[in-house]
């Protein structure tokens, strides 16, 4: 069949009764579609964090994304970077962030939890929020 011309293949397709049939395993198809949706959602989430300036450590912990992939995605998203550390949160905001983090332990995973935290504190850089949470976890 690989060496047959398009004309010959068209003639074969028109033959009756049909000698080729395709069977779809619906259960496996649904599993594959769900996997594709999860991968797409995870990629969207990773891009969401990259666009908000998530540090490499956050991307490694949340998505298992290593430095090279992180840099490529950041470059593809046209995210500008600045040298040096991001400024820390002031004391009041830092305490509010910690309180918010502990109040919202009901999120199903760290990705959605950090996303909610970032949305709750839109004026703070994600790197500063990450530092506040990870700094308090290590203290």
Q: Where are the domains of the chain?
A: 6-138
**Is the separation of the CB atoms in 136 and 98 below 8 Å?**
yes
Alpha carbons within 13 angstroms on the beta-carbon side of residue 93 total 17
Digits of tens for pLDDT over the chain (139 positions)?
A: 788 888 888 888 888 777 777 788 999 999 999 999 999 999 999 999 999 989 999 999 999 999 999 999 988 888 877 777 778 899 999 999 999 999 988 777 889 999 999 999 999 999 999 999 987 655 4
Q: What is the 3-state secondary structure (H, E, C) of 10-49?
A: HHHHHCCCCCCCCCCCHHHHHHHHHHHHHHHHHHHHHHHH
Residue whose C-alpha is closest to residue 113's, from 58, 66, 55: 58
d(CA 41, CA 81): 25
pTM over 0.95: no
């Amino acid at each position: 069949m690989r060496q047959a011309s398009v004309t010959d293949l068209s003639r074969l397709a028109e033959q009756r009764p049909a000698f080729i049939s395709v069977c779809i395993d619906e259960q496996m198809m649904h599993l594959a579609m769900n996997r594709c949706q999860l991968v797409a959602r995870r990629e969207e989430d990773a891009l969401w964090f990259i666009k908000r300036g998530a540090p490499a450590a956050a991307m490694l912990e949340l998505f298992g994304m290593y430095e090279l992939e992180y840099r490529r995605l950041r470059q593809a998203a046209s995210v500008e970077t600045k040298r040096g550390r991001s400024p820390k949160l002031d004391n009041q905001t830092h305490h509010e962030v910690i309180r918010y983090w502990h109040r919202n332990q009901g999120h199903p995973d760290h990705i959605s939890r950090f996303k909610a935290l970032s949305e709750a504190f839109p004026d703070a850089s994600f790197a500063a929020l990450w530092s506040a949470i990870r700094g308090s976890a290590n203290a």
